[in-house]
Structure 1
Amino acid sequence: MVMTATAACVTCGNPLPEAVAGRRYCSNACRQRAYRERSSAREDSPHDSALPAPLDTFVGRREELASLARTETARLVSLVGPAGAGKTRLAVQHVARRADQTWWAALAPVSDAVQAVYTAVGAHPLPNRSVRDAVVAEIEQHRRPLLVLDNCEHLLADVADVVSELLASCPRLRVLVTSREPLRLAGEQVFAVGELELPPAEADVTEALRYDSVVLFRDRAVSVDRSFEVDATNVADVVAVCRSLDGMPLAIELAARRITVLSPADILARLGDRLALLTGGPRAAEDRHRTLRTAIGWSYDLLSEEEQAASRRLAVLGVPFDLGVASAVCGVADALELLTGLEQKSLLVVDRVGGHTTFRQLESVRLYCHERAIAHADISLVADRVVEWVCSVVEPEISSFFPSPPVVLRLDRNVGLLALAVKRTAETGDWSRHALAIVAMAWTSTPHGPRGATTELLHQALSRPMPQAYRSVLAVLAAMHHRVRGGWHVTRRFAEESLAIERADARRPGTTARALEVLASAEAHTGGPELAWRLFDEAAALLRESDDKLARAILLNSYGWTLVQHGFPDRAAPLVHEALTLTRLIGLPHMLNPVLHTAGAITLARNSFAEAVDLFRESLEVGSEHPVDQYYDLEGLALGLVGVGSDDERALSLLVSAAAVRTRYDFRAEPYWQALLDEARAVCRERIAAGRLRAAESTGERMSLAQAISYALTARPNAEADGLVSARELHVATLVAEGLTNRQIGQRLGISPHTVARHVTHARSKLGLRSRAQLAVWAGRQTP
């Protein structure tokens, strides 16, 4: 940053002769004039020099502005975020009237950071002195100077040097930087500027307009079409557009400008090609902010070749990924530094859930990088590397009774990659690795749907050539798939195929025991219970000397559950007790879920209903990681409640909700269990009054599985609290029980949806209820 300036008078600019070298003015008149100008600048109220003057409104960012206000004492603050996040607009809004002198340097169009700063502060050349000295001299004339350096990412190293020198030389100076990555200087406070807050997908108009993303869409749409408004007919589409665009301001603004020729529904339908759709920003905007493609391309072009390749290849995945997957896809031993660099450049988003870190690209960034991946022929390369990764995870586990929980968890977290591996191996005819990809899919247990591969995939895979060890695993997985759907004869056929392969090999006790376990349960339901007990005993003998406690626990639980169904709860009890002890010893709470269910079934068979309620409640609590498996526990809890006779309405709602899950995924109850469910529903219909009966059934029909679990675990409202609910709140709750929305209730009662929501919230709070569904059930109980 050393540069010699031409000797000239600071005030009039006339050359200074060498004889007066070291002086700043050619005369006393010029010196007095400069003094008056400086005094005037200091005496004026806060002065913003060359601040951008936006022509449209500033929307939202209330929390961000409040947080920035608390950084007043920080000498270096960097607003960092991805393309189109609104960093410049936020900086303009923040700096207004926060210093006695503010200088704004727009660096996007320049290539020399030193000269840009020199020009922005209006420094005058000093004879035989450096530009740095001139800038420092100008800054030091002010009590509270603020320098804003806007869009620094392409000059990062130079800007870091300039800022570091100026902060060291000017103790009163504060610097605000906007960039897509931080300067990484000592004392720098990095302020992340991300997406605008997004409303829930089902938000109505009133709720949606509480969110900045929707307000921004509305305001920019109105700026080009004064007749536009967010109403009941388009709110769902507007919300979906904002959510699809990740709440990024530039993308939302560009989408809203299309409202002159496209409806919100049309815009939403075209977002798959958003890089072509989102163009036509204001003419006054910088070129890189006039289209979404150029905004993202600006960031992409600043990456190193290695970072560009990583961005392209990760974009092919289309789903969140962890460090291991990223390393495999990028073809490096450890992608940590690559991912760190991309995150710092605002091209990756980091999510941390349950102590586990995953990464993802904003969808607009991903689509841009995916275009680049196609151009660089990266698609097949990435697919092959995903296949390699999947096989490396699965192959070491195929000789086990059950894959280790860490492997299952790893597959669960990367479940979105498995379909890519299945598709790629089918395209290339690599049937051995295709089988492993299907096995990986069958091992998953996601929170959002039924576990495993589809019937069609399993059957098609078994029709292909593959090693016998792979065929055995696929066959037993197919048997398990049909078992949960009540197809006992098909279950037996596939289990017999797997067992025949295992007996011929006789070297894999774990997979042999697994085939025996599945075959035993099938035999018990197809007329061969005595053979079933012998098969279970053979499997248990194979695992007796094994260190695999989880395998033994799973086997004993299956044995016990089958015994209970055939009328032998006392024989099942010690087996399930051992399974429960082993599972608790392993320390995997979510694996307790099926064992607690069997223990609860034993207590039901013994008419110990209160104990059954406690066991099924515990099972619901520990199984929350994979709630799709918990419909069984809802049913068990309902059976216990009916047995106790304490809460028939709740029991019926749970039975109806669980039945909906079974229907959705074609999970059929065993004949023994189904008979218990049918009997419980009949008892509820006899005990519950007609008005309350329909309310309980309606509640069960409307509840999602997650809501049903929450409802099951909520204590019954205290009867003493009923009197605290006002007449209007009771009326609103009754209408909630009828299935009306807040808007419909408001129309019927002549009040606003917001007021309805307030009544619902107050009623729930008074009654100690967690959800709207629980309020509906309570209201149903108030009906004579």
Structure 2
Amino acid sequence: MSDASSGRRYCSNACRQRAYRSRSSARPDTPRALLPTPLDSFVGRREELAALAGLGSEHRLVSLVGPAGAGKTRLAVQHAGKRTGQVWWAPLASASDVVRAVYQAVGAHPLPNRSVREAVITEVDRHRRPLLVLDNCEHVLADAADLVSELLARCPRLRVLTTSREPLRLPGEQVFAVGELGLPPADIDVLTALRYDAVQLFRDRAVAVDRSFVVDGSNVANVVAVCRFLDGMPLAIELAARRMTVLSPADVLARLGDPALLTGGPRTADDRHRTLHAAIGWSYDLLSGAEQSACRRLAVLGVPFDLGVASAVCDVPDALDLLTGLEQKSLLVVDRAAGHTTFRQLESIRLYCHSRAAESGDLPVVADRVVDWVCSVVEPEISRFFPTPSAVLLLDRNIGLLDLAIARTTELSDWSRHALTVVAQAWTSTSAGPRGASTSLLHRALSQEMPASYRSVLTALAAMHHRVRGDWEVTRRFALESLAIERSGAGRPGTLARALEVLASAEAHTGNPAAAWELFDEAVALLRASGDKLARGVLLNSYAWTLVQHGFADLAAPLVAESLTLVRLLGLPHMLNPVLHTAGALALARGDFAAAVELFRESLEVGSEHPMDQFYDLEGLALGLVGVGSDDSRALSLLTAASVVRTRYDFRAEPYWQALLDEARSVCRSRIAAGRLRAAESCGERMSLPQAISYALTPAVADPGGVISAREMHVATLVAEGLTNRQIGVRLGISQHTVARHVTHARAKLGLRSRAQLAVWAGRHS
């Protein structure tokens, strides 16, 4: 038999029918319009869509995984809608039978004496390039994984896309994490902010309910703050933006802790997406009892935490499996920095879990666990001259827990453990604040009854606290109390040396240097006998710094050399900062200004882990630059920036050092032209401490010689006057975006790292 139209020959009608069915199944599919049809616009996610398209073309199983409200379903709709070929959409949110839901989605037909699963497989296998989307799999993961595994094995042309709050965990599965929308930094102008997806979404949804709404200079900071508080989660941002009918962005920001704020989604949305509370509750209800307890307890912390803290709070030997499970269910975010892993909850999830913790009575339990953890870190260290760097680093990384521990011990009047929590705070610092506890906190703790060993360490810390503020008589009083406790028979060389050291520095500055040298010598002898090399290095540096201030530079030199050797041999670069400062001060005292500049620059580089400790180094570098006579404008900017830090935190320079600073300022003001003088001081006043450190470490730039354009030079001059991009645009009649481009180009051509550096450069060259 033949088929004249195609030139084909067949042996029978049955053969012809089989060939027809084969050709039909191999034909390109015509997509069926089964995708959800959103009524509002799709905002952003351009990079995610491109990456998803590439991943989907290479792999047969892709899972969009993310927390509640991340926009997984919307991203899947957008991706599937751009695809050619047959697409099936199977919504599983309300399904209890996965196979039946897929059967209905693919339009399968009953087969005689065959199961529903076989009917699905038969229908799927008919198509050339089909895509099956399983939306919201988290509550039927096992059944979904079982079906997908069989479909992929028996339908070789099939590709599957799932959305879920955790992956299926099948071989070959590609997990595509759907996280926050692009978030702008906190301090940003309107035009730049509107380039970020989170701000675009807020504006789009706000305009949908209030056509008059605009993001402008009056509200951009609050809009950005709302988006950042909500971690860039699309559902949360949409719900917040819908409040623009009755609230301003500032009002929304002020009420973000109220769960009732993020409600009122579209009436057509399913119940889970009409309120953020319900969306997160859906995930929470799917957890095991242990996982729910962990979510509640970790929410009470309110800050990022590490594995050790999580184990203590959850009251388990090792919380690794718990944290792993919660991360896979998109209820924890993992952050990795400098080789250290921390975990955190998205703020919307944390607020929900915190409310559940309050209902379950977990708040005091968690506070007690935090107190236990803090005390376990501090207690072994209080008998040492100086806490081990590992203990300090551990406390620094978890500094956000200390306020909770201090508040809990105060509430319980547990003054012994309260003392340990105050000690922990005195040992810590952040990039935004100086090391140490507040004056009121130290004095309040010392007014309570506590063991003598705790009182000794607290009085020593109080003495150190007042030392950096120039209160030498108060320093001496607290140091004497600590020394009396240690001499009473405690038998702890480390803490005795600590009391001797702080008292020695006080004696030197209250008119009794001879007694100071005797106290220092006794402390050095104790630590040489103890074998604690780090403590000896720290003590020798303090001794040398005191000698330099009192005119004994030659006696200080061997102490500084030994201290530097010890700290370098111990491999603790961040501990070099104070020792290098003393070495730089010694070089200044000897008139070797070039060496001083190099030492202070090295100190700034190695001290980056605790930048709040570095204002001394900025001053030292400035003194060296003035001595060399190479860059007076830079020196004056650094002196001004350091002075701002001192004023903010009431850190008073020692008389010796203050005299050097005053003389350097006087020299700078006499040698800098009037026009550049104000620019240098203004730049120093505006720079943050990190910016000042970056500026100090940036090599000086020579005269541009035509490197930057006249317009870029004009813009840089206006930057030096303190004008914002918007103000410069108004002055020059150009857009804010164009101003930003000129600033960026000028910085790139001149090799400058920041706007502050450009301002100083322009002040020197305009």
TM-score (structure 1 length as normaliser): 0.94
Aligned to 2:171: 186
Q: Which amino acid aligns with 1:623?
A: G
Aligned to 2:440: 456
Aligned to 2:183: 198
Aligned to 1:58: 42
Aligned to 2:282: 298
| Equivalent of residue 122 in structure 1, options 107, 110, 114 | 107
Deviations 1:576-613 (Å, cap 9, x if unpaired)?
A: 10000000001010100000000000000000000000
Distance in structure 2 (CA, Å) of the matches to 1:34 and 1:496:
102
Q: Which amino acid aligns with 1:183?
A: L
Deviations 1:147-203 (Å, cap 9, x if unpaired)?
A: 100000000111111111111111111110000000111110000000001111111
Say whether the 8 Å CA contact 1:307–1:342 is kept in structure 2. Answer: yes
Q: Which amino acid aligns with 1:672?
A: Y
Aligned to 2:470: 486
Aligned to 1:703: 687
Deviations 1:613-652 (Å, cap 9, x if unpaired)?
A: 0000000000011110000000000000000000000000
Distance in structure 1 (CA, Å) of the matches to 2:508 and 2:196:
57
| Equivalent of residue 643 in structure 2, options 659, 663, 671 | 659
Deviation at 1:118, TM superposition (A): 1.3
Distance in structure 2 (CA, Å) of the matches to 1:195 and 1:782:
43
Deviation at 1:506, TM superposition (A): 4.0
Q: Which amino acid aligns with 1:631?
A: F
Distance in structure 1 (CA, Å) of the matches to 2:652 and 2:181:
44
Distance in structure 1 (CA, Å) of the matches to 2:150 and 2:25:
25
1:422 aligns with 2:401: no
Q: Which amino acid aligns with 2:660?
A: L
Q: Which amino acid aligns with 1:141?
A: R
Distance in structure 1 (CA, Å) of the matches to 2:623 and 2:85:
73
Aligned to 1:767: 750
The residue correspondences of 1:574-723 to structure 2 (distance < 5 A) are 574-719=558-703, 721-723=704-706
Distance in structure 2 (CA, Å) of the matches to 1:513 and 1:213:
55
Distance in structure 1 (CA, Å) of the matches to 2:24 and 2:275:
43
Say whether the 8 Å CA contact 1:544–1:552 is kept in structure 2. Answer: yes
Distance in structure 2 (CA, Å) of the matches to 1:101 and 1:505:
85
Aligned to 2:6: none
The residue correspondences of 1:133-152 to structure 2 (distance < 5 A) are 133-152=118-137
Change (3 A) 1:349 1:629: same
Secondary structure (helix, strand or coil) at the match of 1:358 reads strand
1:738 aligns with 2:721: yes
Say whether the 8 Å CA contact 1:46–1:98 is kept in structure 2. Answer: no
| Equivalent of residue 95 in structure 2, options 110, 118, 137 | 110
Q: Which amino acid aligns with 1:693?
A: L
Aligned to 1:728: 711
Say whether the 8 Å CA contact 2:25–2:128 is kept in structure 1. Answer: no
Distance in structure 1 (CA, Å) of the matches to 2:125 and 2:213:
51
Deviation at 1:718, TM superposition (A): 2.5
TM-score (structure 2 length as normaliser): 0.96
Deviations 1:343-366 (Å, cap 9, x if unpaired)?
A: 000000111110000000011100
Secondary structure (helix, strand or coil) at the match of 1:56 reads coil
Change (3 A) 1:189 1:518: same
Aligned to 1:12: none
Deviation at 1:129, TM superposition (A): 1.5
Deviation at 1:289, TM superposition (A): 0.2
| Equivalent of residue 522 in structure 1, options 506, 512, 520 | 506
Distance in structure 2 (CA, Å) of the matches to 1:422 and 1:559:
33
Deviation at 1:547, TM superposition (A): 2.5
Secondary structure (helix, strand or coil) at the match of 1:453 reads coil
Deviation at 1:48, TM superposition (A): 3.9
Deviations 1:458-480 (Å, cap 9, x if unpaired)?
A: 11111111110011011101000
Q: Which amino acid aligns with 1:733?
A: A
Say whether the 8 Å CA contact 1:434–1:461 is kept in structure 2. Answer: yes
Distance in structure 1 (CA, Å) of the matches to 2:23 and 2:274:
42
Aligned to 1:545: 529
1:403 aligns with 2:356: no
Change (3 A) 1:605 1:312: same
1:373 aligns with 2:357: yes
Distance in structure 1 (CA, Å) of the matches to 2:251 and 2:490:
62
Distance in structure 2 (CA, Å) of the matches to 1:444 and 1:59:
42
| Equivalent of residue 212 in structure 2, options 221, 224, 227 | 227
Secondary structure (helix, strand or coil) at the match of 1:465 reads coil
Q: Which runs of 5+ in 2 are unaligned?
A: 1-12
Aligned to 1:326: 310
How many residues align? The count is 752
1:254 aligns with 2:239: yes
Give the alignment's Cα RMSD to 1 decimal: 1.7
Deviation at 1:32, TM superposition (A): 8.7
Deviation at 1:114, TM superposition (A): 1.3
Deviation at 1:445, TM superposition (A): 2.3
Say whether the 8 Å CA contact 1:600–1:636 is kept in structure 2. Answer: yes
| Equivalent of residue 535 in structure 1, options 496, 510, 519 | 519
Deviations 1:637-683 (Å, cap 9, x if unpaired)?
A: 00000000000000000000000000000000000000000000000
Change (3 A) 1:34 1:102: farther
Superposition misfits of 4+ residues, deviation over 4 angstroms: 31-36, 38-46
Deviations 1:300-320 (Å, cap 9, x if unpaired)?
A: 001001000000000011111
Distance in structure 1 (CA, Å) of the matches to 2:391 and 2:201:
44
Distance in structure 2 (CA, Å) of the matches to 1:697 and 1:42:
76
Distance in structure 1 (CA, Å) of the matches to 2:148 and 2:292:
28
Secondary structure (helix, strand or coil) at the match of 2:69 reads coil
Deviation at 1:726, TM superposition (A): 1.3
Q: Please identify, of 539-548 and 93-102, the stretch whose mean Cα deviation from structure 2 is larger.
A: 93-102
| Equivalent of residue 432 in structure 1, options 406, 412, 416 | 416
Distance in structure 2 (CA, Å) of the matches to 1:710 and 1:614:
15
Aligned to 2:734: 751
Deviations 1:712-743 (Å, cap 9, x if unpaired)?
A: 00000122x34212111111111111000010
Deviations 1:425-469 (Å, cap 9, x if unpaired)?
A: 111111111111111111112221011111111111111111100
